[in-house]
């Protein structure tokens, strides 16, 4: 760096060129890893949307710490919940088999990678909700993760049920077999489905139309249907501040977790979490 400074001082034009090259190399260093991961992904993955990946280990610990604080639990307990879902061979086999049988298998991977959804799982295990509502089901990976937690809760004496909404009549093909016994998909416009729903929601997950206006309308629609200590997860909070705005208006706490994917070109999404103490 000292040599670079002397070059800039003595020969301004050459110095600018050297500085340009130095800065370019410095910046490009941050892209080498993602570019390498991109090349691998092009050959190894079939996904075209809703990319799946694992989280880096430190990132997982950050998520566990955040959830532990929200639910007033020890971080070791939350990490145990993470291990439960990540080592669950039943859900892995179910998703691989269901993907193989599906007409949409060409656009999906059989290998299971949960990403931030391990946080969803841990929250269900810790909160023991009776009703979970997720808007936007897509393939149904999140639904299966949530239902896996409900299955474990039932073994401990806590009954719960999953409801999902999706405008696409082909959504949720992973929600089959034993998993279908714990969940129901309400097809049609999510807001209309929420208006018709007459249950009390303990855990609400927004993951449907990702426009800010639609997201805000979902929170407005579901507000009167939430239980006293319901938790809301915003899967769009890395793009909009609508869950934060809703939380401030409704006197709720809000925190945000940012994903750091492991060996994947995608920079990651996140979880907005709205809750009451």
- Clarify whether residues 13 and 68 are in a common domain: no
pLDDT recorded at residue 101: 84
- Clarify whether residues 51 and 96 are in a common domain: yes
> Tokens at residue 68, please?
């532990």
Burial 151-171 (b: 16+ CB within 10 A, else e): bbbeeeeeebbbbbbbbeeeb
pLDDT recorded at residue 72: 96
Is 41 inside a domain boundary?
A: no
Can you give the residue range of the structural domain that contains 9? 2-30
Is 78 inside a domain boundary?
A: yes
Is 40 inside a domain boundary?
A: no
What does pTM read for this prediction? 0.92
pLDDT recorded at residue 274: 98
Nearest in space to 124 (alpha carbons), one of 159, 87, 174: 159
The rounded distance, in Å, linking the Cα atoms of 102 and 143 is 17
- Clarify whether residues 18 and 51 are in a common domain: no
Total number of domains in the chain? 2
pLDDT recorded at residue 23: 84
- Residues 104, 93 contacting (CB under 8 angstroms): no
- Clarify whether residues 59 and 13 are in a common domain: no
- Residues 77, 137 contacting (CB under 8 angstroms): no
- Clarify whether residues 83 and 20 are in a common domain: no
Query: CATH number for the domain including 213?
Result: 3.40.50.150
Average pLDDT, 10 consecutive residues per value, the chain (277 residues): 57 74 86 91 90 97 98 98 97 92 79 96 98 96 97 98 95 94 96 97 93 96 97 95 98 98 95 96
């Amino acid at each position: 760096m000292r040599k670079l400074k002397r070059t800039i001082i003595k020969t301004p034009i050459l110095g600018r060129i050297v500085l340009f090259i130095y800065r370019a190399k410095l910046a490009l260093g941050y892209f080498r890893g993602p570019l390498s991961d991109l090349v691998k992904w092009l050959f190894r993955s079939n996904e075209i949307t809703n990319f799946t990946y694992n989280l880096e280990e430190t990132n997982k610990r950050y998520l566990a710490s955040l959830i532990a604080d929200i639910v007033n639990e020890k971080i070791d307990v939350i990490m145990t919940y993470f291990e439960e879902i990540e080592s669950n061979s039943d859900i892995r086999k179910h998703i691989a088999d269901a993907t193989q049988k599906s007409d949409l298998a060409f656009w999906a991977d059989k290998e299971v990678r949960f990403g931030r959804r391990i946080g969803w799982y841990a929250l269900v295990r810790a909160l023991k909700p009776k009703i979970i509502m997720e808007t936007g089901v897509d393939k149904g990976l999140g639904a299966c993760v949530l239902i896996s937690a409900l299955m474990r809760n039932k073994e401990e004496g806590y009954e719960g049920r999953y409801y999902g909404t999706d405008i696409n009549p082909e959504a949720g093909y992973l929600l089959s077999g034993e998993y279908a016994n714990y969940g129901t998909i309400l097809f049609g416009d999510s807001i209309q489905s929420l208006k018709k729903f007459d249950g009390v929601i303990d855990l609400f997950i927004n993951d449907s139309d990702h426009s800010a206006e639609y997201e805000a309308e979902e929170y407005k629609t579901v507000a009167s249907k939430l239980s006293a200590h319901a938790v809301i997860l915003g899967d769009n909070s890395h793009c909009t501040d609508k869950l934060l705005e809703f939380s401030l208006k409704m006197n709720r706490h809000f925190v945000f977790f940012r994903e750091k994917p492991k060996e994947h070109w995608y920079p990651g999404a996140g979880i907005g979490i709205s809750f009451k103490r």
